[in-house]
Structure formats: C-alpha cells, structure tokens
C-alpha cells in the first residue's frame, strides 16, 4: 500500500489536469455532483454519494452512434472517446461500473462504451454511509478491482491501493508516493471499522437470497401500493449507476441533409417504455413498471450475470419524489416471503460455499 | 483559468474520433428495393436485395443472454440475407430511425428478402414512400426463428391474427408445397375484408394442400365467409394433439384464447410455438425495451416454445 500527503494529491490532480480531461466530485450549488476539474482546488472528496452516478462518463445520456447523409444515404459509425480521469468514485460506484463493463462487453460488444471505458482512469475514494446507503447488505462495500487508484483518507494524507499498472504509472509520473506507514494503515482500518458500524439501512436477507425471493413476489400487494404513489417520472432510472436501458433515435440536422443516430438514456418506469406500434403497452401500470425495475436489480440481471445489479448506493431512494424506498420494499418482500415458510436451498448452498 | 464545473461529461470536446476496438453493431447495410407493391391501404410489400451482393462486413453476433431459454432455434450464422422464418430485421431510413420488422419471405427465397410494412408512424410512412429502385438500410437478421425441418412428419396448424400473417407467410411458404409434412391448416383472422393480406397467395397455398380458414371480426358488406374471432374456427381443425405442431402469431389479446383452445384439444405446450411482438431499439439484448420479465425477446425470441414461457407472466 502506497501513501501520499495532501500536497501529494494536489500534485497528482494538477498533473492529471495537464494531460487529461479530469472529472471529480465537487459541490455544485451546494449539492454533491461530478464536475470537470480544471484546478486541483475544485476537487472535494465526498463521503456520501453524488446525486447522479458516474455512469454518464462512460455511457453518456446522449451519444452519437452514426452520422448519416440523407441525400446520398451514407452512414458512418461514430465512436468518440477522450482520455479522461474520474476522481471520487466510491466502492458502490466502482462495482456499478464493473457491472456496466460486463453488460456492454457481452454479446455484441458495444464499440462506443468500450472505447470510452478503455480511455477512462478511475480513482476511487473511501466514504461514510448516509441514512440510505446499504452497500454493506449487498456486498459492494469494498472494491478490490475496477479502479486504477483508490484513496483512503487518513490523518496525514491518503493511503492508496494501486489497482492497475496505469494507476501505478500516473502515481509515479505526477506525485511522490511512499510506502504507507503502519500508523496510516491503522488509521485507515479504524475508519473502515467505524464505517462498517455506521449503516442505518440494511436488507434483512443475504443478497444471494433475493433472486428467489423476488421470483416469489410477483403477486405481492407491494407493487400496487407503490405503483399507486409512483409518478412514473424515471428519476430512479436516471440516477441509478447500473440502469443502462436506452432509446435509439435519429436527429436530422436543420438543413435536413445530414443527421445523427443517437443513443439516449431511457427508463423502464416511463409509461411508453414497453409500448408497441399497435398501441398495446406490455407494462402499463406503474406498479408493473416498478416491479420490472426492482426485478432487474435483484433477479433478472442477477440470473444472467450472477451478481446483484443494485449496488446499494441509495440514489434512487434519495431522488424519489414520493419516497419509494428500494431497501424498504425489498425488506417488505423478504418479510412476506418469510411467512411463506419456504426453506431456500440456494441460500444455504451459497452460504456453505463461502 | 476557472471554468464552471460541469455536471455532465463534455462529449463534444473529444479529440478526433478514432475507430478502436470492435466495429459498431449499429452500422446498417444498404439494401435496394427491387419491388414495392401495395397490398392494402395500409400495407406495402417490399423486396430487398443487397447492393453489392453480400455485405463483407456483416457479423453474426452471438446471442447475448447466457441464461437463454431454449426456444425456436438459434440464429443461423451467415450473411445479412441468410435468415430463418420468424427472424426479424431492424429496418431504417436515415432521419427517420429504425424499427424491427419480421421477415415475410420464405427460407431460401429466390425473390430476395421480403418485408410487409404497415404504415402506422413516421418511419413506416416514410418507408411507404420508398419506390422500386430506392433504398432501405437494414441490420440483422436477429432473434430466433422457426425450424421448419423439425416440423416434417407432423401436422402443422398456423393461427394468424392481423399482421401476424406476415411472419406466418414466411413459414407457410417454407413448408407448403414441400414433401414430408402432414396435414397443414391455417386460420387467419382480420378486422375486415379490406385488411386481408395475401388472399391471392392463399388460393395458391390451398391448391398446394393447405386448408385455409379465414374469418373477419365483424360482418361486412360482400363478405360471405366466417365472422368472429379466430377461435370460432378452431373446432374445424380437428386436431390430432400427438402429431400436431401449432404456430400462433397475432395481436397480444389473441394468444390466451387460442392457447386455451389448443390445450383443450389436448396439445402439449412443447408443441405450441408463438412469436411475440415487442418494442425494440437495438436488437442486441441491451436497450431493454423488448424484455419479457428477465428475457430479451430480441435474443431469446421472438419465436418461443410455449413451454419456455412458463414463469414469464409478462409474456402473454
């Protein structure tokens, strides 16, 4: 484990700004957000999550896939990616990005995402849970991969996990890192211990049990109840670091000669998401749309990728206008399921494997 | 130098675009419209050929979802026009976007890829204005198709509602007139006589051995045939449940009732095939629009065995 002082971090960030587009956590109008860092002073390493996740840096809310000419019919693929550094991702955000990496590399590899990701350096930092964080219950509380550097704030500076050769190289190039002293590591461990005891939101079942519990909960009264208060606004999808559903549409230029085929974020909680041309909507009730979103987080994608797709960041809880709380809802489903009296073999097996 | 921090990535400041890594799966192939024929007030049939023979850049992408339910049969590896009945293409026009359309022509069609397109929105109305000699841009084929060979030796019952006759035509023309199949029957229902598609061809199919029953939803002037939903004709099929494969393609509301009748006739879910329509934006198992519970219809479907849909309450 390496160590740099606070001045050392300033040197690192200043150096990175010279050679890369640098984005990091800032306070924007008093709110925690990611923003471009043009001066090391702007970086504010936050202890709690930003409102929007970091997914937009690798999966922008609008990106060009093709440029076409409507007169001669030519189409040119567009893959835009710039070298960039993102500073301040927490463990949950890093886990989320690892999941996105798997999604976009899978099947037909997504040229646009993969090019951006390859040019992105990730510098993580430690955090302290707020009332809605529940990464501890999901198992995404610590990141062991998915970052180039990971900063642990200690009394005198930062103890650093070096995740990749690229991380080691920027550390060497821009700042003076030394081997972390035992006192710094103790300091970091004390922080982590405090952190582990600070979670106020917990899931009442192990993450491995959730796919089966969700599978038995399709008919739960919970869905109608939260559906009746949901606005169907899509905010939960927008702030989620692992929501990646998208729309593809054409944007002709004003001269109606050229144009772009663009990919924009879409949201399964919006009314038209599953609407087909004949007018049939396969998930019209808001409760059905929420059930779909929650199942994607805990069951559908878990069945494919063998990992929960909720990373416990709590963003959807903080942003929801009517206080729909994915952790509370999941705990309600867990409680309902306990009444069914089903002994879940998958959980017992998974526990035994550990 | 102080700039206001931005909360969104500045995508426009990227250096000169460069092509690294895999090719874009969104790049379509140019296709020439070799025939464009009006079928009804709303539907036109297009025949397509690739401009430069086969597209050398075409890649057959692997099915993306590991936990795929075995259904229909897997996409056939090969070139752009090497499709199976039941598969679909993303068809687009620059400036108007893309949408999924089922193949209307049979396996190995000499007349090229045929698509039957109903004008319901911006894109489809623009496609309707493309004349013979014009161009469309296609990606595909995507999804699972029908394995016509596996139906050899069996009776096949085709049940189509509305525009469901389009993908059904691909399968019917693959099967009818070929040796080795048992009794072949079609029930086809539409709203009105004006909506009937391929009625001329249906006469040919009948001559080649297909029993065709046609029905319309409500009585209409000049219509002497059956009136009522497709299930009203199912008794005429006289199904032998052991040796029959049933194929259902139609509007969402149709499936439940047809399946109820087929089960009543003693058919097993393993022998009932359905093709399910969903909204689709990518065809690659990513955009999320076609998801039926956890299953991407663009990858694991659109053709499913009914028995593979158990546990997917959103399917039917």
CB within 8 Å: A110 and B3: no
DSSP A298: I
Give contacts of B 36-95 with A, CB under 8 A. 59, 61-67, 92, 94-95
The tokens 């690659």 sit on which residue? Answer: B284
Task: Give the residues across from B147 on adjacent strands.
Answer: none
Contacts of B315 in chain A (CB under 8 A): none
Cβ distance A340 to A216 under 8 Å? yes
pLDDT of residue B297: 95
Alpha helices in chain A, H assignment, sequence order: 6-19, 91-105, 111-118, 135-138, 165-174, 182-196, 210-215, 221-229, 235-239, 286-295, 301-305, 315-319, 326-340, 345-353
- What ranges do the domains of chain B cover? 29-142, 148-309
* Nearest in space to B100 (alpha carbons), one of A195, A248, A39: A248
Rounded distance between C-alpha atoms, residue A253 and residue A183, angstroms: 60
What tokens does B230 get?
A: 């497709």
pLDDT of residue A353: 47
Rounded distance between C-alpha atoms, residue A56 and residue A36, angstroms: 13
Tell me the backbone φ, ψ of residue B237, rounded to 5 degrees. -70, -30
Rounded distance between C-alpha atoms, residue B86 and residue B90, angstroms: 13
Cβ distance A24 to A43 under 8 Å? yes
Task: Give the residues across from B296 on adjacent strands.
Answer: B291
Is B148-309 a CATH 3.40.190.10 domain? Answer: no
| Rg from Cα positions in chain A | 22
Cβ distance B266 to B239 under 8 Å? yes
What Å distances lie between residue B1 and A27, A41, A42, B265, CA to CA?
18, 12, 12, 79
* Nearest in space to B107 (alpha carbons), one of B155, B154, B73, B56: B73
Specify the DSSP element, H or E, that contains B283.
none
ipTM: 0.91
* Nearest in space to A93 (alpha carbons), one of A24, A157, A30: A24
| Rg from Cα positions in chain B | 21
Give contacts of B 263-302 with A, CB under 8 A. 277-279, 281-282, 284-289, 291-294, 299
Contacts of A63 in chain B (CB under 8 A): 11
Who has greater pLDDT, B140 or A84? A84
pLDDT of residue B77: 44
pLDDT of residue A30: 86
Q: What is the mean pLDDT of chain B?
A: 87
Tell me the backbone φ, ψ of residue A321, rounded to 5 degrees. -70, -20
Kindly report the nearest CA distance between residue A320 and chain B, in angstroms.
20
Tell me the backbone φ, ψ of residue A179, rounded to 5 degrees. -70, 135
The tokens 């590991």 sit on which residue? Answer: B66
Average pLDDT over residues B59-74: 44
* Nearest in space to B76 (alpha carbons), one of B101, B114, B103: B103
Give contacts of B 149-168 with A, CB under 8 A. none
* Nearest in space to B271 (alpha carbons), one of B173, B154, B187: B154
Q: Which residue of B has its CA nearest to A107?
A: B64
What tokens does A184 get?
A: 């710094």
Cβ distance A257 to A70 under 8 Å? yes
What Å distances lie between residue B29 and A77, B57, B58, B75, B268, CA to CA?
12, 9, 8, 18, 41
CB-nearest partner of B6 from A35, A256, A283 = A35
pLDDT higher than threshold 80 for residue B63: no
pLDDT higher than threshold 70 for residue B1: no
What Å distances lie between residue B114 and A64, A208, A292, B7, B59, CA to CA?
30, 47, 35, 47, 21
pLDDT of residue B20: 52
Q: How many Cβ atoms sit within 10 Å of the Cβ of residue A301?
A: 23
CB within 8 Å: B95 and A38: no
pLDDT of residue B11: 38
pLDDT higher than threshold 90 for residue B75: no
Rounded distance between C-alpha atoms, residue A344 and residue A212, angstroms: 8
Average pLDDT over residues B72-94: 76
Rounded distance between C-alpha atoms, residue A223 and residue A229, angstroms: 10
Interface size between A and B, measured as CB pairs under 8 A: 203
- Are β-strands B226-227 and B210-216 bridged in parallel, bridged antiparallel, or unpaired? parallel
Tell me the backbone φ, ψ of residue B144, rounded to 5 degrees. -90, 155
Confidence of residue B16 (pLDDT cuts 50, 70, 90): very low
Q: Which residue of A has its CA nearest to B22?
A: A111
pLDDT tens track for A215-269: 999 999 999 999 999 999 999 999 999 999 999 999 999 999 999 999 999 999 9
pLDDT of residue B17: 42
Alpha helices in B144-289, H assignment, sequence order: 165-175, 199-207, 252-264
User: What is the arrangement of strands in the sheet containing A31-36, beginning at the earlier edge strand?
Assistant: A31-36, A21-28, A84-89, A120-125, A149-153, A157-162, A2-5, A178-179
pLDDT of residue B79: 59
DSSP A212: H
pLDDT tens track for B216-227: 999 999 999 999
| Segment among A39-43, A190-194, B24-28, B150-154 with least mean pLDDT | B24-28
pLDDT of residue B9: 38
CA dihedral B156, B159, B165, B168 (to 10 degrees): -30
pLDDT higher than threshold 90 for residue B42: yes
pLDDT of residue B62: 44
Q: Which residue of B has its CA nearest to A27?
A: B5
Which residues in chain A land under pLDDT 50? Answer: 351-354
B272 class by beta-carbon count within 10 Å (0-12 exposed, 13-18 middle, 19+ buried): buried
CATH topology for B29-142 is Elongation Factor Tu (Ef-tu); domain 3 (2.40.30)
Cβ distance B53 to B32 under 8 Å? no
* Nearest in space to B66 (alpha carbons), one of A67, A97, A305: A305
CB within 8 Å: A108 and B25: yes
Task: Give the residues across from A24 on adjacent strands.
Answer: A35, A87
pLDDT of residue B109: 80
Q: How many Cβ atoms sit within 10 Å of the Cβ of residue A258?
A: 16
| CA angle (B180 as vertex; B178, B184 as ends), nearest 5 | 70
Task: Give the residues across from A253 on adjacent strands.
Answer: none
CB within 8 Å: B7 and A52: yes
Cβ distance B293 to A300 under 8 Å? yes
Contacts of A246 in chain B (CB under 8 A): 281-282, 286-288
Cβ distance B254 to B228 under 8 Å? no
């Amino acid at each position: 484990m390496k160590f740099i002082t606070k001045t050392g971090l300033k040197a690192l960030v200043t150096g990175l700004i010279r050679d890369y587009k640098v984005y990091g956590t800032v306070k924007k109008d008093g709110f925690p957000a990611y923003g471009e860092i043009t001066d090391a002073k702007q970086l504010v390493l936050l202890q709690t999550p930003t409102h929007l996740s970091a997914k937009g840096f690798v999966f922008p809310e609008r990106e060009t896939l093709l440029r076409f000419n409507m007169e001669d019919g030519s189409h040119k693929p567009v893959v835009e990616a710039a070298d960039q550094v993102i500073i301040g991702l927490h463990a949950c955000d890093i886990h989320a990005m690892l999941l996105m990496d798997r999604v976009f590399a899978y099947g037909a590899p997504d040229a646009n995402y993969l090019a951006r990701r390859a040019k992105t350096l990730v510098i993580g930092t430690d955090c302290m849970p707020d009332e809605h964080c529940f990464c501890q219950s999901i198992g995404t509380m610590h990141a062991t991969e998915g970052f180039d550097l990971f900063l642990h704030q200690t009394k005198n500076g930062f103890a650093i996990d070096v995740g990749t050769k690229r991380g080691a190289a920027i550390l060497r190039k821009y700042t003076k890192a030394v081997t972390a002293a035992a006192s710094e590591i103790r300091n970091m461990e004390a922080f982590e211990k405090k952190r582990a005891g600070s979670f106020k939101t917990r899931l009442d079942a192990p993450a491995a049990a959730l796919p089966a519990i969700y599978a038995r909960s399709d008919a739960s009264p919970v869905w109608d109840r939260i559906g009746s208060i949901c606005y169907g606004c899509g905010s939960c999808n927008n702030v989620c670091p692992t929501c990646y559903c998208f729309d593809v549409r054409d944007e002709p230029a004003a001269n109606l000669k050229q144009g772009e085929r663009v990919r924009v974020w879409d949201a399964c909680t919006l009314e038209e998401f599953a609407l087909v041309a004949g007018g049939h909507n396969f998930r019209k009730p808001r409760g059905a749309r929420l059930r779909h979103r929650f199942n994607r987080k805990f069951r559908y994608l878990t069945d494919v990728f063998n990992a929960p797709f909720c990373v416990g960041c709590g963003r959807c809880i903080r942003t929801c206008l009517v206080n729909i709380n994915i952790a509370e809802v999941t705990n309600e489903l867990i409680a309902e399921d306990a009444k069914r009296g089903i002994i879940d073999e998958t959980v017992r097996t998974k526990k035994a494997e550990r | 130098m102080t700039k206001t921090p931005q909360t969104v990535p500045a995508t426009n400041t990227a250096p000169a675009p460069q092509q690294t890594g895999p090719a874009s799966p969104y790049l379509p192939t140019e296709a020439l419209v070799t025939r464009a024929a009006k079928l009804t007030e709303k539907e036109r049939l297009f025949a397509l050929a690739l401009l430069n023979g086969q597209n050398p850049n075409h890649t057959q992408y692997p099915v993306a979802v590991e936990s795929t339910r075995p259904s229909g049969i897997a996409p056939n590896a090969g070139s752009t026009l090497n499709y199976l009945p039941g598969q679909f293409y993303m068809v687009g026009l620059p400036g108007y976007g893309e949408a999924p359309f089922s193949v209307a022509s049979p396996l190995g069609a000499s007349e090229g890829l045929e698509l039957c397109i109903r004008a319901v929105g911006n894109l489809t109305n623009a496609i309707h204005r493309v004349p013979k000699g014009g161009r469309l841009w296609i990606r595909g084929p995507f999804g699972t198709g029908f394995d016509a060979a596996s139906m050899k030796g069996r009776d096949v019952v085709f049940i189509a509602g509305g525009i469901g006759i389009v993908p059904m035509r691909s399968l019917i023309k693959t099967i009818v007139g070929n040796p080795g199949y048992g009794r072949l029957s079609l029930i086809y229902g539409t709203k009105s006589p004006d909506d009937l598609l391929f009625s001329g061809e249906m006469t040919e199919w009948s001559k080649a051995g297909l029993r065709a029953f046609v029905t319309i939803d409500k009585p209409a002037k000049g219509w002497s045939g059956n009136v009522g939903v497709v299930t009203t004709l199912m008794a005429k099929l006289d199904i032998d449940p052991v040796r029959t494969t049933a194929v259902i393609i139609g509007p969402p509301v149709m499936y439940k009732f047809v399946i109820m009748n087929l089960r009543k006739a003693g058919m097993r879910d393993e022998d009932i095939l359905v093709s399910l329509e969903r909204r689709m934006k990518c065809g690659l198992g990513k955009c999320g629009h076609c998801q039926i519970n956890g299953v991407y219809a663009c990858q694991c479907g659109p053709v499913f065995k009914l028995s593979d849909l158990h546990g997917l309450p959103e399917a039917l």
